[in-house]
Structures are given as structure tokens and as C-alpha cells.
Structure 1
Amino acid sequence: MPITSKYTDQQVEEILTEIAAVLDKHGAGPELSLMIVGNIATNVLNQNVAASQRRAIAEKFSSALISSVGE
């Protein structure tokens, strides 16, 4: 069964395009870009998710990331 999202592809693509433009503006290569994305994920979890659920959500997030990059 495919995963459905409450967000449209257009919403996701617009935000992704803007973030990519900021990273490009600052000359952020892959390493710095990944550090920034990791920091954003950490901040989102720490500021918006109950402490008791952070690890489980972080594990789901990391599993989804691994699945999305393939082998």
C-alpha cells in the first residue's frame, strides 16, 4: 500500500527548492548540507516532539532515509 501524505507534492517541492537555493547561495557542499539537515531534524524533534517519543520518531526517520537512498 502506498504511503499517502497530507502535504501536496507542490508544497514539498516549493520548500525543498527554497532550501536548496539557500544552501547554494552559501556554497554549502554535501557535508555541510547534511550537517545542516541533521541539525534541523534534531531541532524539530527537540522542540516539537515529547521527549518520550523522540527516539522512536528519530528511528523511523532514519529508516525512511535509508530506504530512500537505496543501495
Structure 2
Amino acid sequence: MKTTKNMEPGKTRKVKTLRQLATEYGVSENTMRKWLRPIEHKLKRCSRTLNPKQVKMVYEFLDEP
């Protein structure tokens, strides 16, 4: 896995599903969807997975778990 210059050491770039993010935050997928509604237009999801840039946006919006 790759790390970038902008990321902290130990942080990796990963593609994640909504379920994986919900598990990280300790909530259901439905709750995660509700939480992400305000930034839904920014995420521009077109597949079941969130790319590393989208995951970063979620972490910035909700704060890291």
C-alpha cells in the first residue's frame, strides 16, 4: 500500500465501502448515509466503493474515528 507525502506516517490510502466506514464509526450503514447527506454532492459516488480522496473527505467532515 502507498503512503503519500501529505499523509501522516502509518496512514495508508485505501478504497473503502460505506459499510467499512460505518463500522469504523460504530454505526449502521443507514446512519452513515444520513450523516453524509450534507456532502453527498461533493462525494459524487458512482460505485459501491469510496476512493481514497472520498474517504479523506469523509474523515475531514466527520473527524477521524
TM interval, short-chain normalised: under 0.3
Q: Normalised by the size of structure 2, how large is the TM-score?
A: 0.26
Give 1 or 2 for the bigger CA radius of gyration: 1
**Greater relative contact order (CA < 8 Å, ≥ 6 in sequence):** 2
Higher strand share: 2
- For normalisation by structure 1, the TM-score amounts to 0.25
